[in-house]
Amino acid sequence: MSMLRFPEGRALDFVGLGRLCIDLNANEIHRPMEETLTFTKYVGGSPANITIALARLGARAGFIGRVSNDQFGRFITRYLHEENINVDNVIVDDTGSVTGLAFTEIKSPTDCSILMYRDNVADLKLEPADVSEEYIRQARSLLISGTALAKSPSREAVFVALAYARKHGVVTIFDIDYRPYTWVNKAEIAVYCTMVAENCDVVLGGREEFDLLESSEGPQRQDDDETARKWLDHQARIVVVKRGGDGSIVYSRGGERVEGAVFPANVVKTFGAGDSFAGAFIYGLMQGWSLDRCQQYGSASASIVVSSHSCSDAMPTLDQIRDRIDRFVRSGT
Ligand SMILES: Nc1ncnc2c1ncn2[C@@H]1O[C@H](COP(=O)(O)OP(=O)(O)OP(=O)(O)O)[C@@H](O)[C@H]1O
Ligand SMILES: O=C(O)C[C@@H](O)[C@H](O)C(=O)CO
């Protein structure tokens, strides 16, 4: 068992915090963006994707963030509402900010990149005063994504939210979510992400992301087991090291170490794997499932999303994940 206790009797199962942006995924795939003519618009932003994933699985989800006061901001808020995500703590920013744009280039199933437009974005204008203690008090869990720490006042808002969550026994989840385009330097990443990771119950990241947090400790740590021990020595009850096409390893404070493989996928784009994995994995933790079942659902969810054109729109339902698992059990595909 994961030794993680989600409080009961709360109005929300899960609250995401941070980036709400727009994905513009190239429709002409398997070619460089210089040759792309059209894009499809989706809601994006890692914490938004994970929150949508949880809502799609039936969790009562909410969000804390800022959106721009324009058509994109309204599009995002409406989409979250239509996904039954509570938007009471989604604030319209009126400082003239814009919505972050993530242009996804799909050159091949394994060669994808994101062109980010993030100057003056609304999500990083989130202020400490925007974060409602009452809103967090009614939640069972809170997700913090690392990019929300990249700039003030969003950075300070994160620490306020984390303090409220710890005060009210809310399970705190930190997805390192490193995106280079917003941080000033790697030293800041190590400092601020470490401060959050040391105070969260669940920490998820890829090998390179953990190396960024641990870089101040001399040569980059390559050992996943050592990384897990480090963070489990702090607040963490669960540490997830995501390893792309090689799967993931999940560690618990109770000494479990569970390696998980991937499900076969007809990969359209690799983006969205981490967010879809995280959504189903966290859902499983909330149900009190074993770690290998949480991991299995996370991996199955990821295989569905990497086989799709979008991230948020493609987040699967429980039935879709179960069907994916059943198909693999029956046929190995
Ligand atoms: N090519 C793939 N095919 C099937 N499953 C995959 C593939 N890549 C990743 N996954 C699954 O998704 C999980 C998370 O993937 P990854 O480690 O790439 O996270 P990430 O880097 O956060 O992803 P993202 O690209 O969304 O930021 C993996 O542990 C694995 O279960
Ligand atoms: O998180 C981002 O800013 C990019 C996302 O919008 C995009 O969907 C993605 O890369 C998910 O991994």
pLDDT in tens, 275-317: 999 999 999 999 999 999 999 999 999 999 999 999 999 999 9
For ligand 2, atom 5, name the residue with the nearest CA.
Answer: 45
Cα 330 from Cα 152, distance rounded (Å): 51
Q: What pairs with residue 15 in β-bridges?
A: 62, 142
% residues pLDDT > 70 (the chain): 98
Domain boundary assignment for the chain: 14-328
CA distances (Å), origin 329, targets 264, 296, 305? 12, 12, 19
Distance 46 CA to ligand 2 centre (A): 5
Residue whose Cα lies nearest atom 21 of ligand 1: it is: 274
| H/E run at residue 258 | strand 257-260
Q: Which long-range contacts (CB under 8 A, 24 or more apart) does 162-168 make?
A: 162/196, 162/199, 162/200, 164/131, 164/133, 164/136, 164/137, 165/136, 165/139, 166/199, 167/133, 168/7, 168/133, 168/136, 168/137
The residue to mutate among 42, 112, 275, having the most atoms of ligand 2 within 8 angstroms of its beta carbon, is 275
Helices 71-82 and 46-56, packing angle to 10 deg: 30
pLDDT value at position 12? Answer: 98
Position 216 scores a pLDDT of: 72
Looking at every residue in the chain, the average pLDDT score rounds to: 96
Distance (Å) from CA 89 to ligand 1 centroid: 30
Q: In this structure, which residue's CA is closest to atom 12 in ligand 2? A: 272
pLDDT of the residue at 207 = 94
Closest by CA to 71, choosing from 98, 44, 52, is 98
Query: In the structure, what pLDDT confidence band is assigned to residue 182 with cuts at 50, 70 and 90?
Result: confident
Whether the pLDDT of residue 150 is over 80: the answer is: yes
Tokens of 112: 């994808």
Give the Å distances, CA to CA, from 174 to 101, 103, 145, 261: 23, 25, 6, 22
pLDDT classification of 221: cutoffs 50, 70, 90: low
The residue-averaged pLDDT of 74-98 equals 98
Asked if residues 323 and 291 have their Cβ atoms less than 8 Å apart, the reply is: no
Q: Give the closest residue to 116 by CA, choosing from 183, 204, 205, 209.
A: 183
Output the CA 276–ligand 1 centroid distance in Å.
9
Burial of residue 1 (number of CB atoms within 10 Å: 0-12, 13-18, 19+) = exposed
**In this predicted model, what pLDDT tens digit does every residue of 88-113 receive, in sequence order?**
999 999 999 999 999 999 999 889 99
Burial class for 69, CB neighbours closer than 10 Å (0-12, 13-18, 19+): middle
Closest CA to 170 of 145, 198, 144: 144
Is the CB of 76 inside a 6 Å radius of any atom of ligand 2? no
> What is the pTM assigned to this prediction?
0.98
pLDDT of amino acid 220: 66
Which residue's CA is the nearest one to ligand 1's atom 22?
Answer: 274
Residue 170 has pLDDT above 90, yes or no: yes
1, pLDDT greater than 90 = no
- State the fold for domain 14-328: UDP-N-acetylmuramoyl-L-alanine:D-glutamate ligase (3.40.1190)
Q: How far is the CA of 20 from the centre of ligand 1 (A)?
A: 21
Q: How far apart are the C-alpha atoms of 6 and 130, rounded to whole Å?
A: 25
Euclidean distance between CA atoms 165 and 258, whole angstroms: 28
Torsion over CA: 60, 289, 270, 213 (sign): positive
Percent of the chain exceeding pLDDT 90 equals 95
pLDDT tens sequence across 121-140? 999 999 999 999 999 999 99
Rounded to the nearest angstrom, the distance between the alpha carbon of 260 and the centre of ligand 2 is 23
Q: Is 73 in the pocket of ligand 2 (CB under 6 A)?
A: no
Average of per-residue pLDDT across 204-229: 87
| ipTM score over 0.95, yes or no | yes
Residue 147 confidence (pLDDT) above 90: yes
